[in-house]
Structures are given as structure tokens and as C-alpha cells.
Chains A and B, each alone.
Chain A
Amino acid sequence: MPFMPVKFTLQKRVKLAQGVWMLYWLSVIVGIVIFSLGIFFKIELRKRSEMMDNNESHLVPNLLMLVGVLACGINAFGGKVCHDSLDPNKFSKWKPMLKMFLLLCCGFNVLLLLVALLCFLMQFAVYLTLAEGLKNGIKFYKDTDTPGRCFMKRTLDMTQIEFRCCGNNNFRDWFEVQWISNRYLDMSNDVVKDRVLSNVEGKYLMDSVPFSCCNPGSPRPCIQHHLTNNSAHYDYDHRTEELNIWVRGCREALFSYYSSMMNSIGALVILTISVDMAGLKYLCTALETMTDPENPESESEGWLLEKGVKETLADVLSKVKMMGKTNQVEEGQYVQSVVTQVFTDM
């Protein structure tokens, strides 16, 4: 009893071949889209690699590019097979490869599922890398004269301006580091000396933030310095002031940016797990079981599996067990014949 049999006339076979051909070429386009999304994601990671301490994992974009290329190749081959399927001469040269091809498609779909899962899970890694990278970024903000770190200030300023955020968790992260280089501090000044001495590690700490934390939407000119001192500014209360500087932390801002990107890529990959395989299987079996091979207009039957699901599984298991046993007793030809039998049964 074949599994899900369907009767096919010539018309239906032609329609099936055309439909499956279209589906395959659509999948090629989707493969190209996945490849370009992989490139886009890789570029975005490189752009902000300084914020992630140059430590970010490029596993996901590399996999996406690989999967995109593979999808293009496999689906183009499937399309070619469909195109040739209605011409018996051309189809006969593809017949022996079809079993392997369907197995390959199965394996490829499993790979797609894995990649989609990775897209969703790697977000945690991105979050942790961002936390570490931003902490170091804020620490090295003042080191514009140290080779290898001289652009950290500019990068962090541009990031805070672009993503409308301030600091790692919030703006108070700036109160805990010295972000003004000693080159620009007048060490002979009493105020400066007091601040440096009042701190255990001799750091010059202030309750101020850099200019890139300023919010242009604030109705008043930006207040950067003496943020916690209400009397330092006219008509200012630091507890109720909301619009003066950005309140969101950069880790949260960058993470939401990357996670939305990864979520949408993962969703697209899941969508491409295709049903082309079922169509191709029907087409192949329909062509093989033509009642009168010479007459192209004869009827035929197509199915997904030659026997029912349970029977096929039992068959495969028994064959595998036999293979295991014969490996101990005999090898060579017997094993080969068993393997071909397993494949022809599918």
C-alpha cells in the first residue's frame, strides 16, 4: 500500500512538473537572498567590532553564506531535473542520481533548521560580548594617544550619537571612570588636586558625561557637567529631568538592533525549509510507473513512499541490523546488494 498515492494523467504530470520547476527557481532566489543577508550581517558585525572588543563570533554569517550558496546549487539542480522530466531521453540520465539527491535535500533541510536555531541562540553570545566590549570602550575613552586605542573615543561618540544611548547600562557608567585624559588636566589647580586625592586609585572622577550623550530633542541647551548638583544650573532638577541626555544604555540599544536582525534572518531561514522534495518525489514515481512506457499519454500513479510509513521504517531497521550482522560474517558483494535494496525501497 503506497503512502499517499495520487493518480496522474499526462496533463497532471505536466502541471506538476511546471509547478515544481517554478518552486525550485523561487528557492534559488531565496538562496541568493540568504547569501546576501549573510554578507550584510557580517558587515554589520565588522562595523561595530570595536564595541565588541574585536571578539565577536562570525559563525552565524559564515554559515548563512554557505547555506545560501548550497541552496542555490541544490535548487538549481532540482529545477534542471524538473525541466528534463517530461522528455524520457533526458530524464533517463538523471534517474540513477535521484535517490541520492532526495537524501541530500533531506540533509540540507536539517542543516537549515540548525542554522535557524543558531540564529536565535547566538543572541546571548552577542549580548555578553557587547557588555564586555562597551565596558572596555568606556575605560579606554580617554586613551586617544595610545596606539591601538586612539580611535575608541571617536567610535564610542559616534555610536552614542547614532544609537541614541549613553554609557553601558545608563549614563552613570561615566561617573565611575576617568574619561578626561591627564594631558588636559591642570595638575597645579587645587580643585583638580582635591578630586584626584579624594579617590583611592587617584582617578579624576566627575559627575559629567561626554557631549555625545546629549539629546538634541531637549528644549534647553545640553547640560553635561555637574549633573547631580541641582544648584549648579538654573531651574534644574536632576531627578525629574528626562530629555537632557539619553537615558537608554548602549548595550541595550545595540543588542536590540542585533537581535531584531538575527530574529528576522532566522524566521526567513525557517520559511525556506521547503516542500519541494514532496513534489519531486511525486513527479519521479509518476514517471516511473507509466502503464505503457511507449505512450506518453498513459496514466500513472505517484506516491511518497512505496509502502506505508510503519512498514518502510521496519524495513529500513531490519536492513540496517542485517548490515551490522553481515559485517561480522561476510563483506563485499552482499553488503553492496543490501545497500542498493534499501535505497530502491524508498
Chain B
Amino acid sequence: MALLKMKFTQQRRVRLAQGLWLLSWLAVMCGAFIFCLGVYLKTELLRRAEVMDNTEIHVVPNILMMVGLASIGTNWVASRVCQDSLDASRFPRWKVLLLAWFAVAALLCCLLIAVVVLSYALQGRLEESLKVGLRNGIRFYKDTDVPGRCFQKETIDHLQMEFRCCGNNNFKDWFEVQWVSNRYLDFTSKDVKDRIRSNVDGRFLLDGVPFSCCNPASPRPCLQYHLTDSRAHYNYEYQSEELNLYSRGCRQALIDYYMDLMNSTGPGVLSVILIQMSVLLSLRYLQTAVEGAMALENPEGESEGYLLEKDVKQTFEDCKAKVLDMLKLAQVDAAAAEVSPGAADAEKTVDNTTEKAASPTPAS
């Protein structure tokens, strides 16, 4: 009882081969698309690598690139098989390869599904990585003279302007770090000395933010300093002022950006999975139909195509039996090896006793 049997006349076989050839070239394009998607995602992640603490999220674009390349090769092989399938002399050489091909194609589909799952599962790790990276970025903002950190200021400024965000969670993160370097502080000034002494760690903290937090859509020129002091600026109310600075935190802005990117690629990846599955199933039908036709006396007659030769259960039992056989064969070989040295020993002892029996006879 074959699984999902279908009858194939010669014409249907030809149609199937042609259709599958087109479908496999479409699948090659899809493989190229997946590869490009992986490259694009990796580039976007690398651009902001300075504010990320670890690279765990890079596993998503890496898998996409690998699967894309493998899919191009696999589907190209499928198109070659299709081309040869209607020629009885050239088809048999693909027979050996086809089982491996099915395994590889199934593996690719599984990997693509894994990518979709991973892109959701790794969101938490990405958030953690951004939290630590941004915290360091804000802390080292002032160190424009320390080698290795001198571009942190420029990076954070560009990030805040491009993503329209301020600070890690919000703009108050800037109140907790000293973001003005000591090189630009006049230590003879009373105001500076007071601020430094009022702080346990001796840091110069302000209720001010860098210029990159300013929101251009605000109707008034940007207020950067003395933000919590409503009297420091005319017609300014700290609690109700909304448009002056960006209200969103950079961590949230970056997470939203990357999640949007990965979500928008979701439907594309799912359709590629569907196309790959249909290539796999159609190739199986083509293989069984053509092999059935080659076994007939009249190769142009009707043949049957199926997915599995027997039922799912029976196929599973068969596979299990084969695997056990292979294991048993290994055990039998080992047992045979044990038995033969034992037999040799037994023969040796028999010889010894015959010798011993033989030796005393001359004495007597």
C-alpha cells in the first residue's frame, strides 16, 4: 500500500519534468534571495556592532547565508536531474545521489524553520547585549582621547540622531554619568568645584544632555542644560515638556528596528520553505514514476508514482529493522571474532594433551 499513489502517463511525466525544472530554477533564485537576505542582515548588525556587547544574534544571518548557498547548489542539482529524467540512458546515474539529495533538502527546510524560531527566541539576548553595549557607550562618551574609545562619542551621537533616541532607557541616563571630559572643565571655577564635591565619586554630573538628543521637530530652539530646573528657562515646564528632546530610549529604538527587520523577512522565508518542500515532493514523484516506467516492457506506458513504497508505519518498521540489522551485523562480527580465537585455544589444548599423551609413551 503505497503512500499517496498517482498514475502517470508519458505525457504527464513529461509535464512533471518540465514543471519541476522551472520550479527548481525558481528555487535557485529563492536560494540566492535567502543568501542576500542573510548578507543584508549581517551588514546591518555589523554596522551597530559597537553598541552590542556580544555577537550571539549573528547566528541568524550566518545560518541564512549558509542555507542560501546550499539551496542554490541543491536546487541546481535538482534541475539537472529533471533534464536527465526523460532520457532512460542518463537517469540511472542519478539514482545513488537521490537519497542523499532528499536528506539534504529536508535538512535545509528544517534549518529555515529553525531560523524563523531563533529570530524570535534571541530577542531577549539581543536586548541584553544592547543594554550592556549602550551603557558602556554612554560611560565612555567623554573618552575621546583614550585609544580604542575615541570614536564612542561620534558613534553615540550618530546613533541618537539617526534612530531619534536619547540614552539607554531614556534621557535621564545622561544625568548619571560624567559625559563632559575633565579636559574641558575649569577646575578653578567655584561652580565646577561644588558639583564635583557634592558627588561621592568626584564626578562632574549635570542635568544636561548632549546635542544629539535634541528633537528638530520642537517649536523652540533646543534646551540642553538645566533640564530639571523650570526656572532656568523662560516659559519652560520640565514635567510637561515633550517635544524638546527625543523621548524614546536607544535600546528600545534599536530593538524595534531589528525586530521589524526580522519580522518583515518572515513571510519571505516561509514561502521559500514552501517552494523547497514542493520541489522535494515533486522530485520524489518524478523519481518513482520514471523508475516505474523504466521497469515496464514499454517505457512509454503508464506507471505509478508514490511518495513512500509502503505505509508510513511499515516504512518506519522497515527502517528500524534495517538499522537493527546493521547493529546486529556489527555484534555478530564481534562475537565471531571472539569465537574464533577461543576455537584456536581449544585446538591448541587438544594438541597439547595429544602431545602430552604422546610424550610419556616412550618412557613407559
Residue-wise, chain B 168-209 has the 8 Å CB interface mask toward A (1 for contact) of: 000000000001110111100100000000000000000000
A29 at the interface (CB under 8 A from B): no
Known contacts A153-B216, A181-B220, A211-B214; A220 and B181 CB within 8 A of each other: yes
Residue-wise, chain A 157-171 has the 8 Å CB interface mask toward B (1 for contact) of: 110010000000000
A221 to B156, CA, bound (A): 12
CB <8 Å contact, A210 and B221: yes
Partner-binding segment picked from A6-14, A182-190, A307-315: A182-190
| Residue from B212, B221, B235 in contact with A216 in the complex, judged by beta carbons closer than 8 Å | B212
Known contacts A219-B153, A222-B210; A153 and B219 CB within 8 A of each other: yes
CB <8 Å contact, B224 and A186: no
CB <8 Å contact, B216 and A235: no
B355 at the interface (CB under 8 A from A): no
What does DSSP make chain A's interface, helix, strand, loop or mixed?
loop
List which B87-143 residues lie within 8 A (CB) of chain A. none
Known contacts A179-B221, A180-B221, A211-B222; A158 and B154 CB within 8 A of each other: no
CB <8 Å contact, B153 and A158: no
Residues of chain B lying within 8 A (CB to CB) of residue A123: none
List which A209-241 residues lie within 8 A (CB) of chain B. 210-212, 214, 216-217, 219-222, 224, 233-235
A154 at the interface (CB under 8 A from B): yes
Residues of chain A lying within 8 A (CB to CB) of residue B234: 184-186, 189
Min CB distance, A3 to chain B, in Å?
49
A217 to B151, CA, bound (A): 8
Min CB distance, A233 to chain B, in Å?
8
For B180, the closest partner residue in chain A by CB is A221
List which A300-323 residues lie within 8 A (CB) of chain B. none
Residues of chain A lying within 8 A (CB to CB) of residue B179: 221
B150, B183, B210, B219: most-surrounded residue (chain A CB, <10 A): B219
For A219, the closest partner residue in chain B by CB is B144
| Residue from A145, A221, A233, A234 in contact with B210 in the complex, judged by beta carbons closer than 8 Å | A221
CB <8 Å contact, A184 and B235: yes
A157 to B211, CA, bound (A): 12
B158 at the interface (CB under 8 A from A): yes
Residue-wise, chain A 134-173 has the 8 Å CB interface mask toward B (1 for contact) of: 0000000000110000100110011001000000000000
B157 at the interface (CB under 8 A from A): yes
List which B75-90 residues lie within 8 A (CB) of chain A. none
CB <8 Å contact, B144 and A210: no
A166 to B22, CA, bound (A): 57
CB <8 Å contact, B224 and A217: no
CB <8 Å contact, A220 and B184: yes
| Residue from A144, A145, A181, A216 in contact with B157 in the complex, judged by beta carbons closer than 8 Å | A216
B217 at the interface (CB under 8 A from A): yes
Residues of chain A lying within 8 A (CB to CB) of residue B235: 183-184, 186
Residues of chain A lying within 8 A (CB to CB) of residue B224: 211
Residues of chain B lying within 8 A (CB to CB) of residue A217: 154
Min CB distance, B59 to chain A, in Å?
32
For A144, the closest partner residue in chain B by CB is B219
A31 to B255, CA, bound (A): 43
| Residue from A184, A219, A234 in contact with B221 in the complex, judged by beta carbons closer than 8 Å | A184
Residues of chain A lying within 8 A (CB to CB) of residue B180: 220-221
A199 to B179, CA, bound (A): 37
A186, A189, A211, A217: most-surrounded residue (chain B CB, <10 A): A211
For B216, the closest partner residue in chain A by CB is A157
A157 to B145, CA, bound (A): 29
A210 to B184, CA, bound (A): 21
Residues of chain B lying within 8 A (CB to CB) of residue A221: 179-180, 184, 210-211
CB <8 Å contact, A220 and B183: yes
B69 at the interface (CB under 8 A from A): no
A150 to B216, CA, bound (A): 12
CB <8 Å contact, A154 and B217: yes
A181, A189, A221, A222: most-surrounded residue (chain B CB, <10 A): A221
Pairs across A and B, CB under 8 Å, 25 listed: A144-B219, A145-B219, A153-B216, A153-B219, A158-B216, A161-B216, A180-B220, A183-B235, A185-B234, A189-B234, A210-B222, A212-B216, A216-B154, A216-B158, A219-B145, A220-B144, A220-B180, A220-B181, A220-B183, A220-B184, A221-B184, A222-B211, A233-B184, A234-B184, A234-B186
Give 7 closest A-B pairs by Cβ, nearest first.
A216-B157, A157-B216, A219-B144, A186-B234, A144-B219, A234-B186, A211-B211
Q: Which A residues contact B (CB, under 8 angstroms)?
A: 144-145, 150, 153-154, 157-158, 161, 179-181, 183-186, 189, 210-212, 214, 216-217, 219-222, 224, 233-235
Task: Other than A214-B212, A216-B154, A234-B185, give 13 A-B pairs with Cβ distance below 8 A.
Answer: A144-B219, A150-B219, A153-B216, A154-B216, A183-B220, A184-B234, A185-B234, A189-B234, A210-B222, A211-B222, A219-B145, A222-B210, A224-B211
